[in-house]
Structure 1
Amino acid sequence: MPFLGKDWRSPGWSWTKTEHGWKRIIFYGHDMDDIHREIEFPCGDGDEEFAQGVCQLASLKKRKDLYNHKTKSQFVFRDKWIYVQKDSTKERHGYCTLGEALNRLDFSSAVHDLRRFNYVAKLFQLIARSQLTCLSGAAQKNYFNILEKIVRKVVEEHYNPRLVKELLQDLSAALRKLTLHVGRCVLVGNVDVWLRRLDNILRWQRQLDDLHIPKQMCSGVSFSDLPLYTHNKILYNLSDACDIINLGQATPTLHVLSEDRTLWKRLCHFHFSDKPHLSRHSLLTKNDGGVDWKLMYFTLHKRYPVKEQYGDTLHFCRHCSVLFWKDCGHPCTANDPDGCLLPISPQHFIDLFRF
């Protein structure tokens, strides 16, 4: 006989005790209670339990539809973690989509955190290059709404415009290829919708091209007033070659400091110390034979990827198979939770959802 009741394998509901009995708790964002409206159904004495379930489902559906029309984001979940398990069992279904992960991990709020901004932008750049056709309709909407927040943050706060320009450039190139040369066979949704999104991307690119960062006038000590030792210390703490070159163009003194061979040697050591090509150049010794380390860096950069540094990254718990932001945490059952954590880079995040 087939099982016609509720799925016993579900993780269960959250309940709270009230003066009228137990009531189920539903988390669908902060504004859901404000737009809540109950729907009454006539019911007899024998159908009271059935009618109560129908009322709950109808009320939930109406609130979801109303919330979805009033906001540009998807539902905000209380728990900022998600199971990522590729193997399915009877007790737990392991399949998880990329769009669901973007929603459950609350990337919409992560954009406003400076520690996570670069991580989110880099991840969206990788999605634009290879994963656009894997997004569902709801995931597409969430992706472009978060992208709009990223562009708005750059325009208003002038934060890291170079990275966002590269993101929009890769996204526009991918959309042109998909809409003009591939078309309907791989895109989820109407092609006209994607063309309108492409127009929005071109508009965002013009906004970033016209962006002028105003010079802040201050009566105190400016950056140029700092001693050379401080300038050199700042350069040695930069891991991005483009940042070093751009900073070297500010003043003649910084230009001299940015061309230091030791600076570029340490940069090569940071990014490519594990590559076999560097063993022939005695990277860790002083006898480097007059190697042009700046040229060496860009030569190696063409062959190998550089290390990525972020203020905050996603972590994966190997014991629980849970993906989460480290600051948010998750209910881990391991004896040594810290020993089970694995930092997840943006590329590794994409690989987790390749099925």
Structure 2
Amino acid sequence: PGNFYFYPQLLELIAKSQLTSLSGIAQKNFMNILEKVVLKVLEDQQNIRLIRELLQTLYTSLCTLVQRVGKSVLVGNINMWVYRMETILHWQQQLNSIQITRPAFKGLTFTDLPVCLQLNIMQRLSDGRDLVSLGQAAPDLHVLSEDRLLWKRLCQYHFSERQIRKRLILSDKGQLDWKKMYFKLIR
């Protein structure tokens, strides 16, 4: 549970580059682990975006591999791989149908916190895509999620000064566009 983020990253790495080097049993185990991860996300309704991206990466990889089936890049029966692809599509549909419900809790919410505290918390998010998603949750949060200083700090946290200097991007106003730089650097 504490290492949950490790599993999707490992599975994505395997899906992108190592899938064909796995034995048939290892590929079956890969799918079993993936199923457990998907079921946990469906149950907890957390890390949905992370798993959606993982499934999309895997599906794209499998499409490429299945098209090259004559070159025997996949271990096992092609029908099994088509079944696995259908399973991935089913999981994607399940994830897409999740409706996040607001809790009945009537206490303080994130937006009730002082703006400086909201920014402080937002600076601690490890992924800029989470900031973008947070900005889509409410108009006030959108303004905060576009804060130049917030994106500057995120860049400085994740990247060296040398990396940042190589990717300087100026806005129309002639200022550094930290948000664009972050997404350019993260690639």
Please confirm whether the aligned pair reaches a TM-score higher than 0.5, indicating the same fold.
Answer: yes
Q: Output the CA distance in 1 between the equivalents of 2:27 and 2:126.
A: 33
User: Are 1:156 and 2:46 an aligned pair?
Assistant: no
Q: Which of 156, 164, 176 is the matching residue for 1:291?
A: 176
Partner of 1:119: 6
* More strand, by proportion: 1
Q: Output the CA distance in 2 between the equivalents of 1:280 and 1:264.
A: 14
Contact preservation (8 Å) 2:131, 2:145:
yes
Aligned residues: 182
Q: Which of 14, 28, 32 is the matching residue for 1:145?
A: 32
Q: Output the CA distance in 2 between the equivalents of 1:240 and 1:218.
A: 27
Partner of 1:233: 120
User: Are 1:273 and 2:169 an aligned pair?
Assistant: no
Q: Cα distance, 1:190 vs. partner? A: 1.3
* More helix, by proportion: 2
Query: How does the TM-score come out when normalised to structure 1?
Result: 0.48
Q: Answer 1 or 2: higher relative contact order, Cα 8 Å, separation at least 6.
A: 1
CA deviations over 1:90-115 (Å, ceiling 9, x no partner):
xxxxxxxxxxxxxxxxxxxxxxx1x3
User: Are 1:246 and 2:159 an aligned pair?
Assistant: no
Q: Write the letter of the residue equivalent to 1:139.
A: A
Contact preservation (8 Å) 1:272, 1:278:
no
**Structure 2: 5+ residue stretches without partners:** 169-173
* Partner-residue secondary structure (3-state), 2:54: helix
Contact preservation (8 Å) 1:184, 1:191:
no
Q: Output the CA distance in 1 between the equivalents of 2:155 and 2:48.
A: 25
Q: Write the letter of the residue equivalent to 2:133.
A: N
Partner of 2:96: 209
Q: Write the letter of the residue equivalent to 2:48.
A: P
Distance 1:276 1:212, change over 3 A: closer
Contact preservation (8 Å) 2:132, 2:145:
yes
Q: Write the letter of the residue equivalent to 1:203.
A: H
* Partner-residue secondary structure (3-state), 1:216: coil
Q: Output the CA distance in 2 between the equivalents of 1:206 and 1:197.
A: 14
